[in-house]
C-alpha cells in the first residue's frame, strides 16, 4: 500500500538506500506492497478489497466556512438540480473541475493546487497532504466516502496538514511528478494517489488508496496520518533528507537525452523487436496483451497494423495483423463494448473482455475509433467500420457539448434503478434475466420450441437466470444476479439454433437493443465529467476526421470542423499565443473558463496539431494546416529541450514542478513526444521546413536507448521511426476540386491503409487539365 523501499529502482545510485529504514519507521514493516502492473489505473479490484465503511458522524464546526459563495451544482447525469444544503464547505466550491467539486463539501480544509496552499504550509511549517484523482475514478469515490467524509479523519487532516486536492486531468504535470515518485517507491501506482510533501513540495512518502482504519494487514489512513505526524515531529530531518535523495535519484533516472552525435536507431530492427515483445505478452485465445486486467491499448494495435503494411509478405507481418484484428474483434464482441448504447468501457477485469470497469473515457473512444476504421481498411470487414461508427455515435450523443467540444468521461457508478442510497458500479449498464424476459415476451414466429424474442436475445448475449458475472469479478457483490452482455455466438449460429433466418435474427437483436437503450434512459445516469480537455479533444478531432474521410461521411467531417472551431474559439488564447488546458460546461450550458486559466501542456499542443493535420488531409482546408504550423512553432518555444533533445511534458520554467519529465511510454494515451515525432515529419513535408525534419530526428535520437531496449514501451514512436525509414508516398491528384472524378480518386485513396502517406502528406492540386 505504502512503502518507501526502493522496490523498482529507476536509478542504480545507492544513495536512496536509507529510504528502506524510513519505511519501517513510518509504517509497519509487514504492510503489504502496492499492487504493481504495467498500466496505472483507478483500481476496481484490489488484492484485499476494502469492506470497512467510515461512519458518517456529524459535528457542527465546518472545516472552512464560505458564507458568500453561491454553490455550483456539479454537471452529472441523473443527480438532480436542487441539492440539499451542505453542512460543510471548503475552497474547492470555488473551482470548476467536477472532481474538485465532488470534494467541496467534505469536512476537510481542502486547497486547490497553488500558491495559497504552498504559503500556508511554509508559514505554519506543516507537511502537505496531496490527494490526486479524477471525477470518474471508482476508488476515488470509495476513499472519499470512507475517509474524506469522516469527521474525525477530516479534523486530523485539517489540523495537522495542508490538504491539497488535484484533478489529474486538469494538472497532468503535478500528477506525473508525484506518480513517478509513488511508482518508484511502491513498485506500482494508481488513483486515488496520496502523497505527503514537505512545505517546499518535496515528496517523502506516498501511496494510493487507504482504507479508513487498519484492514487485513493494510494500514488505515488514521494509522498512516498518526505515524507521519509522529515522524514529522521526532524524525523530520530523516524524512526530508531521504525524500530529497529519492528526488535526486528520480531526476537522474528519468532523464532522457541523446548522446553527442547520436542518430536514431535503425527502424527495421526496432520494429522487429517491438513485434517480438508484443507477441511474447499476447494472449492468444481472446487477444490483448496480458491475462487480466486487460486494457484496449490502441497504440499497440496501430503499431501492429503499421508493421504489417511494410511486411505483408512475411510470416511476421501476417502474425502482426492477426494479433491486431483478433484483439479488435474479441473486444467488439465482449462486455467491454457497450452493445446497447455504444462506446467502450475503460478496461476488462478478466481475460475474456467480459466484465469491464464501466467508466467510459473520451481518449479511449477517440483512439479506438481510429483503430477500428483502420482495421476495416486493412481487412475489408464491415464489422470494424460499424464499430467505428458506433463509437462516434456514442460520443456525438453522450459526450458532445453544444459548443462543438467533447466531455471527458462517464462514471462507472450510478444509483440502481431499484433505488437505494448507494451508487453501484455498472448499475446503469447491466441487466437481470427477468428484465429481459419482461421486455421481450413475444413468441417469434417459426422459431424452434416456441422461443420468445427474449430466449433468442439471452442465448446470443449470454444472459443467464442467476446472472453471468463470476464471483471473483464481483468482490463487493454489486453485480449479483446481473448480466453483462457479451456476444456468445455468431448470428448464423444463433439463427441455426432457433431455426430462423439470419436476417430475422439481425432484426430481432437490433430491435431488442433499441428497446433496451430506451429503458436505460429511464435509469439514473452515471455522473458525467463535463470538463473539456484540449488534448483529448485533439484526439477526438483526429477520430472524426479519419473515420469521416475513410467512410466519405460528410456529417462526420462537419463534426470534425466544429471540433476544430471549438478548440480555436475556446481553448486558444490568441493574444498570449497559448493553448489552454481545459474549459467547463456552465450551469446554463455555456462554456466557462477559470481565472487564471490553466495553460496547455505538451500533449495539448501535440494532440491538437495531429488532429489539425488529419482534418487538413480529410478536408483540404488550408486554414487547419496553417494553424497547425502556428501551434508547432509555439510548442517548440515552450517545451523543446535545446540541450538534450525532445520535449518536456510541461513548462520547464514552472518552479512548482520538481521533475522536468519527458514521458517515455505510450500507454492509455500516446506519449506527446511520440506524436510530436510524427507531427514534425508531416509538417516538414507540407511546409518544406527542414528544421522540423531535423528536430524529429533529434527527438528520436533522444529516445534511442528506450527504443532499442524496450520498444514495446513506445509503439507510437516506433511508427514515427518507421515513417522516417520507409519511402514516403506523396499522392498528387490533379483535377477540379468538386469534380466527380476528383472525389472518386480521393475516396479511393482514403479507402486504403497507407500509414506512410500520412507523415508524407496528401497534396491535392486543383487545376484545369
CB atoms within 10 A of CB 402: 10
Rounded-to-integer distance, Cα 610 and Cα 684, Å: 13
At residue 745, the pLDDT reads: 84
pLDDT mean across residues, the chain:
88
At residue 727, the pLDDT reads: 67
| DSSP state, residue 279 | H
List, as one string, the DSSP characters of 471-516: GGG-TTSTTTT-B-----S-HHHHHHHHT--HHHHHHHHHHHHHHH
Would you kindly state where each structural domain of the chain is located, as residue ranges? 91-254, 429-522, 728-768
Q: Which fold has domain 91-254?
A: Glutaredoxin (3.40.30)
| DSSP state, residue 264 | P
Cβ(408)–Cβ(531) below 8 Å: yes
What spatial distance separates the first Cα and last Cα of the chain, rounded to whole Å?
70
| DSSP state, residue 539 | H
Three-state SS string over 112-181 comes to ECCHHHHHHHHHHCCCEEEEEECCCCHHHHHHHHHHHCCHHHHHHHHHHCEEEEEECCCCHHHHHHHHHH
The predicted-structure confidence for 746-756, as pLDDT tens digits, reads as follows 888 888 998 88
Query: The pTM is what?
Result: 0.89
Rounded-to-integer distance, Cα 174 and Cα 171, Å: 6
At residue 75, the pLDDT reads: 35
Cβ(602)–Cβ(672) below 8 Å: yes
Beta strands in 694-761 (DSSP E): 731-735
| DSSP state, residue 83 | P
Q: Is 77 exposed, middle or buried (0-12, 13-18, 19+ CB in 10 A)?
A: middle
Regions of the chain with pLDDT less than 70: 1-84, 727-728, 758-769
> How many residues would you count in the chain?
769
List, as one string, the DSSP characters of 455-474: HHHHHHTT--TT-S--GGG-
Give the closest residue to 156 by CA, choosing from 120, 123, 198, 107. 107
At residue 747, the pLDDT reads: 85
**Is the bond preceding 373 in cis, omega lying within 30 degrees of 0?**
no
Give the closest residue to 607 by CA, choosing from 563, 548, 652. 563
Beta carbons within 8 Å of 433's beta carbon, 6+ residues apart: 458, 463, 464, 465, 466, 467, 483
Beta bridge partners of 273: none
Three cell numbers written together for 716: 507510437
Under the phi-then-psi rule, with left for phi > 0, alpha for psi from -120 to 50, and beta for the rest, what region is 626?
Answer: alpha
The predicted-structure confidence for 609-633, as pLDDT tens digits, reads as follows 999 999 999 998 999 999 999 999 9
Rounded-to-integer distance, Cα 676 and Cα 692, Å: 10
Cβ(592)–Cβ(583) below 8 Å: yes
CB atoms within 10 A of CB 353: 27
Residue appearing with cell numbers 527542414: 690
Rounded-to-integer distance, Cα 503 and Cα 112, Å: 57
At residue 54, the pLDDT reads: 32
Amino acid at each position: 500500500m505504502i512503502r518507501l523501499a526502493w522496490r523498482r529502482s529507476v536509478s542504480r545510485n545507492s544513495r536512496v538506500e536509507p529510504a528502506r529504514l524510513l519505511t519501517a519507521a513510518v509504517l509497519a514493516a509487514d504492510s503489504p506492497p502496492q499492487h504493481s502492473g504495467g498500466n496505472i489505473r483507478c483500481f476496481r479490484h484490489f488484492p484485499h478489497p476494502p469492506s470497512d465503511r467510515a461512519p458518517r458522524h456529524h459535528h457542527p464546526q465546518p472545516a472552512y466556512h464560505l458564507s458568500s459563495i453561491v454553490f455550483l451544482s456539479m454537471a452529472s447525469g441523473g443527480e438532480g438540480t436542487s441539492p440539499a444544503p451542505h453542512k460543510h464547505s471548503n475552497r474547492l466550491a470555488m473551482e470548476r473541475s467536477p472532481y474538485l467539486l465532488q470534494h467541496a463539501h467534505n469536512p476537510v480544509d481542502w486547497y486547490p493546487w497553488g500558491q495559497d496552499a504552498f504559503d500556508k504550509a511554509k508559514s505554519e511549517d506543516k507537511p502537505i497532504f496531496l490527494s490526486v484523482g479524477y471525477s470518474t475514478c471508482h476508488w476515488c469515490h470509495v476513499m472519499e466516502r470512507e475517509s474524506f467524509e469522516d469527521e474525525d479523519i477530516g479534523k486530523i487532516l485539517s489540523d495537522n496538514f495542508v490538504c491539497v486536492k488535484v484533478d489529474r486531468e486538469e494538472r497532468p504535470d503535478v500528477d506525473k511528478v508525484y506518480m513517478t515518485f509513488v511508482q518508484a517507491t511502491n513498485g506500482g501506482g494508481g488513483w486515488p494517489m496520496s502523497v505527503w510533501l514537505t512545505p517546499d513540495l518535496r515528496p517523502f512518502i506516498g501511496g494510493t488508496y487507504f482504507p479508513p482504519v487498519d484492514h487485513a494487514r493494510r494500514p488505515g489512513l488514521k494509522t498512516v496520518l498518526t505515524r507521519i505526524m509522529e515522524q514529522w515531529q521526532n524524525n523530520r530531518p530523516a524524512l526530508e533528507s531521504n525524500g530529497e535523495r529519492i528526488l535526486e535519484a528520480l531526476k537522474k533516472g528519468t532523464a532522457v537525452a541523446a548522446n553527442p552525435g547520436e542518430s536514431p536507431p535503425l527502424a527495421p530492427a526496432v520494429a522487429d523487436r517491438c513485434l517480438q515483445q508484443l507477441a511474447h505478452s499476447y494472449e492468444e485465445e481472446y487477444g490483448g496483451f496480458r491475462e487480466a486486467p486487460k486494457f484496449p491499448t490502441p497504440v499497440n494495435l496501430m503499431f501492429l497494423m503499421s508493421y504489417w503494411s511494410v511486411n505483408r509478405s512475411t510470416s511476421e507481418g501476417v502474425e502482426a495483423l492477426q494479433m491486431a484484428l483478433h484483439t479488435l474483434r474479441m473486444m467488439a464482441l465482449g462486455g467491454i463494448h457497450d452493445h446497447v448504447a455504444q462506446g467502450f468501457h475503460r478496461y476488462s477485469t478478466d481475460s475474456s473482455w467480459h466484465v469491464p470497469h464501466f467508466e467510459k473515457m473520451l481518449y479511449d473512444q477517440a483512439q479506438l475509433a481510429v483503430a477500428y476504421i483502420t482495421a476495416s481498411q486493412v481487412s475489408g470487414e464491415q464489422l470494424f467500420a460499424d464499430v467505428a461508427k458506433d463509437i462516434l455515435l456514442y460520443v456525438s450523443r453522450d459526450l458532445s457539448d453544444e459548443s462543438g467540444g467533447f466531455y471527458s468521461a462517464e462514471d462507472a457508478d450510478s444509483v440502481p434503478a431499484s433505488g437505494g442510497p448507494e451508487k453501484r458500479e455498472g448499475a446503469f449498464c447491466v441487466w437481470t434475466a427477468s428484465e429481459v424476459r419482461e421486455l421481450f415476451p413475444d413468441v417469434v414466429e417459426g422459431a424452434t420450441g416456441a422461443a420468445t424474442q427474449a430466449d433468442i436475445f439471452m442465448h446470443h448475449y449470454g444472459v443467464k437466470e442467476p446472472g453471468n458475472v463470476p464471483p471473483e469479478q464481483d468482490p463487493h457483490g454489486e453485480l449479483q444476479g446481473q448480466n453483462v452482455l457479451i456476444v456468445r455466438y455468431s448470428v448464423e449460429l444463433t439463427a441455426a439454433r432457433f431455426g430462423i433466418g439470419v436476417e430475422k435474427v439481425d432484426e430481432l437483436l437490433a430491435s431488442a437493443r433499441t428497446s433496451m437503450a430506451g429503458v436505460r434512459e429511464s435509469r439514473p445516469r452515471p455522473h458525467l465529467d463535463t470538463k473539456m480537455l484540449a488534448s483529448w479533444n485533439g484526439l477526438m478531432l483526429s477520430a472524426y476526421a479519419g473515420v469521416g474521410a475513410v467512410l466519405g461521411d460528410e456529417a462526420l467531417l462537419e463534426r470534425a470542423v466544429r471540433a476544430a472551431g471549438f478548440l480555436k474559439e475556446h481553448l486558444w488564447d490568441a493574444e498570449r499565443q497559448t493553448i489552454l488546458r481545459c474549459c467547463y460546461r456552465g450551469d446554463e450550458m455555456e462554456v466557462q473558463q477559470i481565472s487564471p486559466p490553466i495553460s496547455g501542456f505538451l500533449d495539448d499542443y501535440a494532440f491538437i496539431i495531429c488532429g489539425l493535420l488529419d482534418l487538413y488531409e480529410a478536408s483540404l482546408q488550408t486554414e487547419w494546416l496553417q494553424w497547425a504550423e502556428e501551434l508547432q512553432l509555439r510548442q517548440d518555444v515552450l517545451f523543446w529541450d535545446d540541450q538534450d533533445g525532445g520535449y518536456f511534458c510541461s513548462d520547464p520554467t514552472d518552479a512548482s514542478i520538481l521533475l522536468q519529465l519527458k514521458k517515455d511510454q505510450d500507454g492509455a494515451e500516446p506519449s506527446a513526444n511520440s506524436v510530436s515525432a510524427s507531427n514534425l515529419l508531416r509538417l516538414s513535408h507540407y511546409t518544406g521546413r527542414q528544421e522540423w525534419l531535423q528536430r524529429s530526428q533529434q527527438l528520436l535520437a533522444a529516445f534511442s536507448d528506450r527504443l532499442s531496449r524496450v520498444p514495446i514501451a513506445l509503439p507510437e514512436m516506433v511508427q514515427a521511426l518507421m515513417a522516417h525509414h520507409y519511402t514516403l508516398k506523396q499522392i498528387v491528384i490533379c483535377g477540379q476540386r468538386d469534380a466527380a472524378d476528383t472525389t472518386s480518386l480521393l475516396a479511393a485513396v482514403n479507402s486504403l491503409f497507407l500509414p506512410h502517406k500520412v507523415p508524407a502528406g496528401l497534396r491535392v492540386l486543383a487545376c484545369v487539365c
